[in-house]
Structure 1
């Protein structure tokens, strides 16, 4: 309950927002995602009117909730569309600070381990693992909402944000919009990376060796599949996605997203040791997608990213729940433990 109350756990220190400040934008994007979590919890607990806990998560930052996205399978709220309303009470000298603000933010929640949502959420988690999220009940609704907002306000005025399962939805929607020529500013918190847990290996040389072997196998399999003419002619070129640079937020202690750390850092190490060609080929394929393609079942690895502005939170965590939590991304005390770096596919 405490995590749902903005006055107890939210970034209420942001009384004046500078939209040019990445820390402020990150905190607000994460808060709007928390707003979706709390909307669904309000629904489950029948909290309405003055008893609802969700509104402060967007009201505090001068957003208005204009629509909720509801999964028809279990009637749960899995997403929300917010519209930013410039506060008329702000002094004129604050106007410039809002020049980088979005008009709309489309946010998606992750899994809620409660009886009303557990079954459907876990079913979608399984689809993420199988790389079949597009076939879920939620993704078509999410994709249509994104397209509608972009048509209304333009790509430059529309943001995506999501956490965990919701981050997977935002990532896939963002990739699809790139294919339509639209690049959306996106905030992906703890997105799932489906892979063997290589990042958990503590010995650096062993970890690098395992990754090198994995890259060699993946690259070799890609060459074999392509040589047999089994590669898809309809798959969107991986390199063409590289101009979209979402903000990616990961915690190395979180097994759900930690492989993104090794995914990007290993690619650079491959270049440094003269194996950049292998790294480039491996980074755009997964063994599962290659095998599926060879069997005639096309499966694009939607969790793979050519480019990202990745922020790593190295703050010590007491457990996996804390390492995976959305709250870490707005806490003032964790700002000093964040390390950000641009990774671009060239």
Structure 2
């Protein structure tokens, strides 16, 4: 909303973004600007509730700061840099882009100002959720901080089995077969020491369970549903170890890593734990299913489940 206000030159009372965050007791602290196209990619908000907010709503569990990132905007001003960031995301190089560097520096500046704290929340939609997820992973692994993260329609770059097929047995069969292939490929591509290191890093990350908001009809994020469900099914058929290896790796990354190992990171969508929230409400099409607006529908049919990597 902030970037759209900027593009449409909406200022003062005409701006649409301020009423949203001010209503919930937040004040805009910093804008995060893309160095290449000068667009607003995110913002840092500070929770400063008014006396009326404190009177009518509990603020005990509220964050002190929220860092939020926008998704892709189909506008000539932002389209090129958004496309570049999405391309980096697909090849596991989001961390090399200027947008992530800007976001990461903002986090470091926050730590320098307020110290290391779990009272900083992360949020994002689509591409923005990917940036927030990568920041969250780094905070867990490098600083031992477990930030709350609310990630809406986070990209999962894999065949959208959940969105393509309707037969549950067929979907299960495809995913189980893929798990065996992935585990076998992992053993072939990665050495014993590298596999052990990946296992340790994945286990360390398991303490963090970001809140994922996905729609089964959204081909960009729907496969998170199958990703977590398949891990449970692998345990039920007695293939727990294979399932654990498969959930830490992806075929695409394994085949790509020998070529660009020094530049690429692990696929962002590989998560040990998550609070998965699935929108079961019907959408007109996959485009509608990817929009942020769905998450404040009054008749939202939401199914939630905590998946933990143990």
Query: Smaller-chain TM-score range?
Result: over 0.9
Name the CA shift for 1:296/1:189 in 2 (closer, same or farther; >3 Å).
closer
Alpha-carbon offset, residue 153 of structure 1 = 5.3
TM-score, structure 1 as length reference: 0.84
- Distance in 1, Cα, partners of 2:110 & 2:199: 26
The 5 A counterparts of 1:283-294 are: 283-294=247-258
Q: Does 1:48 align with 2:16?
A: no
- The CA deviation string for residues 252-285 of structure 1, in whole angstroms up to 9 with x for no partner, is 0000000100000011011111111111000000
- Distance in 2, Cα, partners of 1:143 & 1:106: 11
Contact map agreement 2:160 2:220 (CA 8 A) in 1: no
Count, aligned residues? 305
* Equivalent position to 1:250, from 186, 189, 214: 214
Q: Does 1:187 align with 2:153?
A: no
The 5 A counterparts of 1:143-222 are: 143-151=104-112, 152=114, 154-179=116-141, 180-199=143-162, 200-222=164-186
Name the CA shift for 1:69/1:235 in 2 (closer, same or farther; >3 Å).
farther
- Give the structure 2 partner of residue 112 of structure 1: 73
- Give the structure 1 partner of residue 290 of structure 2: 324
Name the CA shift for 1:288/1:195 in 2 (closer, same or farther; >3 Å).
same
- Distance in 2, Cα, partners of 1:148 & 1:138: 15
- Distance in 1, Cα, partners of 2:53 & 2:151: 30
The 5 A counterparts of 1:207-286 are: 207-227=171-191, 237-286=201-250
Gaps of 5+ in 1: 1-37
- The CA deviation string for residues 2-56 of structure 1, in whole angstroms up to 9 with x for no partner, is xxxxxxxxxxxxxxxxxxxxxxxxxxxxxxxxxxxx1111111111122211111
- Distance in 2, Cα, partners of 1:193 & 1:222: 20
- Give the structure 2 partner of residue 3 of structure 1: none
- Distance in 1, Cα, partners of 2:193 & 2:2: 49
- The CA deviation string for residues 222-269 of structure 1, in whole angstroms up to 9 with x for no partner, is 111234766696896111100001111100000000010000001101
- The CA deviation string for residues 90-130 of structure 1, in whole angstroms up to 9 with x for no partner, is 565x46x1100001000000000011111111111111111
* Equivalent position to 1:72, from 35, 44, 57: 35
Q: Is the partner of 1:333 in helix, strand or coil?
A: coil
Contact map agreement 1:108 1:169 (CA 8 A) in 2: yes
Alpha-carbon offset, residue 292 of structure 1 = 3.2
- The CA deviation string for residues 297-316 of structure 1, in whole angstroms up to 9 with x for no partner, is 15312221100000000000
- Distance in 1, Cα, partners of 2:185 & 2:287: 36
Contact map agreement 1:231 1:294 (CA 8 A) in 2: no
Gaps of 5+ in 2: none
Alpha-carbon offset, residue 291 of structure 1 = 2.2
Name the CA shift for 1:122/1:232 in 2 (closer, same or farther; >3 Å).
farther
- Alpha-carbon RMSD across the aligned residues, in angstroms, is 1.9
- Distance in 2, Cα, partners of 1:69 & 1:107: 9
Alpha-carbon offset, residue 147 of structure 1 = 2.8
- Distance in 1, Cα, partners of 2:169 & 2:108: 45
Contact map agreement 1:230 1:294 (CA 8 A) in 2: no
Q: Is the partner of 1:245 in helix, strand or coil?
A: coil
Contact map agreement 1:231 1:293 (CA 8 A) in 2: no
